[in-house]
Amino acid sequence: MTTTSEPTLFDMPAPDTGLEACRFVWDSLSRHEARALWTELTNWVDWLRDTYQLDTKIKSCWYRHSPVLYELTALMAAHKAVYLTEPDARDAYREDLTAWHTQWMRASVAEIAKQMADCTLDGCAYTRHRPVVDTEMAAFITADVARRSTTAPVGTSMSAMSDDQMSDLVDRGLATQLPPTDHGQARVESGGTHWHLNPLTNTWEAQSTN
């Protein structure tokens, strides 16, 4: 966690996906990267406000509004994704230019105008408030996690599980004990799969029912 009280996106634990933040995630940027993105974005927003005559909707204090900053960053990324092209595609007719206007820009600008309705040239009305967190949320999540199995879900492609894991499934009614085999081998059915206990390893091994 950072030493400030402001939570940022990348303070939060995330599954280990191997993915990383793209360069439009403000929270993740270094000083150098932030400077570069501010330059790119302010130039683009200047152009947008002038070209589309949006100065009464995207007001001059837009950079102060955290939600507007993120929305305009995304809108710029979408705009450049369609207007910048590989040289060999430069002459192609295309429809995503219209999509940028009708799907992305109009909705974004309408939302931004709403958020900036009270701002004037004399002053910005934006104040950031912290959302209330329900005090019961942590206990709710703890209870939800505690009621779950430590084993993989039934139906996954597991081919072996420990005796403890199988006992857990039986206890929770997710596996049913079957009569032992002719050789006295313990058997269980779970999720359409038959499992036999290997007495040498004390491990349950999946066997296809087909």
* Structure-token match 């206890």, residue found: 171
Instruction: Work out the angle between the directed axes of helices 106-115 and 66-83 (0-180°, nearest 10).
Output: 160
- Count of residues binding Zn ion (CB under 5 A)? 4
Is 124 an interacting residue with respect to Zn ion (CB under 5 A)?
yes
Residue number with CB closer to Zn ion (62 or 195): 62
Closest CB 62 distance from Zn ion, rounded Å = 7
Residue number with CB closer to Zn ion (42 or 181): 42
Is 24 an interacting residue with respect to Zn ion (CB under 5 A)?
no
Round to whole Å and give the CA distance between 174 and 168: 9
Stretch that binds Zn ion, among 34-42, 87-95, 115-123, 187-195 (CB under 5 A): 115-123
Closest CB 112 distance from Zn ion, rounded Å = 10
Stretch that binds Zn ion, among 17-25, 73-81, 123-131, 152-160 (CB under 5 A): 123-131
Is 112 an interacting residue with respect to Zn ion (CB under 5 A)?
no
User: Are residues 185 and 162 in contact, defined by beta-carbon separation less than 8 angstroms?
Assistant: no
Round to whole Å and give the CA distance between 95 and 85: 14
Is 119 an interacting residue with respect to Zn ion (CB under 5 A)?
yes
Is 126 an interacting residue with respect to Zn ion (CB under 5 A)?
yes
Residue number with CB closer to Zn ion (44 or 126): 126
Closest CB 159 distance from Zn ion, rounded Å = 60
Per-position x/- string for 40-79, each x denoting binding to Zn ion as judged by CB under 5 A, each - no binding: ---------------------x------------------
Closest CB 63 distance from Zn ion, rounded Å = 9
Residues in Cβ contact with 129 at an 8 Å cutoff, skipping those fewer than 6 apart: none
Residues within the interface to Zn ion (CB under 5 A): 61, 119, 124, 126
